[in-house]
């Protein structure tokens, strides 16, 4: 398994399921553990149902750590060479920072956290699988805030991809995986 990898795709493309399959392969080695860093927040009934379904579908033996904002802190706290960390998902993590239900966006704090993540990943002792949506292929959003969000998610996915060894695009439940081309930076 590559040190870090990014799995992107549209909604219901099979991103989380693929991350779980890879994590099960990791966990098959004696002494290896898997922790899922879940970023979702349950602000309504529909989201509570989504979270519950993800929890129920998650393979037995996977630890779950709920961390909607401070991803660097959680990665640092749970990292070890024999523990795979699955971050599911970057899309909701960004949403929690830029579109919080409790008020105004925290853009400066977001930028600080993002820079910290970029610095942390090369030295992190755990391999990490990041899950994120690819939302920039559709129609250009009408609202300024939504366009800004789509742009920011695209930048975040690029930042994370540069820190990874493998990139997987999920299409209709099928993974298309390739090594990250470091010379494109």
Among all residues, which ones are annotated catalytic?
Answer: 54
Q: Which of 105, 115, 129 is nearest to 24 (CA)?
A: 129
Burial string for 30-65 (b: 16+ CB within 10 Å, else e) reads eeebbbbbbbbbeeeeeeeeeeeebeeebeeebeee
Strand arrangement of the beta sheet that strand 83-88 belongs to: 63-66, 33-38, 83-88, 128-133, 4-9, 166-171, 174-179
């Amino acid at each position: 398994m590559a040190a870090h990898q990014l799995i992107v795709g549209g909604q219901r493309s099979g991103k989380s399921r693929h991350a779980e399959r890879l994590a099960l392969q990791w966990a098959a080695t004696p002494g290896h553990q898997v922790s899922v860093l879940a970023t979702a927040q349950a602000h309504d009934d529909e989201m509570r149902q989504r979270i519950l379904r993800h929890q129920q579908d998650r393979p037995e033996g996977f630890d779950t750590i709920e961390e909607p904002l401070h991803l660097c802190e959680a990665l640092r706290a749970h990292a070890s060479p024999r523990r795979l960390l699955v971050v599911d998902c970057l899309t909701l993590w960004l949403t929690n920072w830029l579109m919080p239900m409790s008020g105004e966006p925290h853009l400066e704090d977001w930028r600080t956290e993002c820079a910290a993540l970029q610095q942390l990943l090369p030295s992190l002792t755990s391999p990490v699988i990041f899950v994120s949506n690819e939302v920039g292929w559709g129609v250009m959003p009408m609202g300024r805030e939504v366009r800004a969000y789509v742009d920011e998610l695209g930048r975040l996915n690029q930042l994370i991809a540069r820190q990874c060894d493998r990139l997987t695009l999920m299409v209709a439940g099928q993974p298309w995986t390739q090594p990250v081309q470091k010379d494109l930076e």
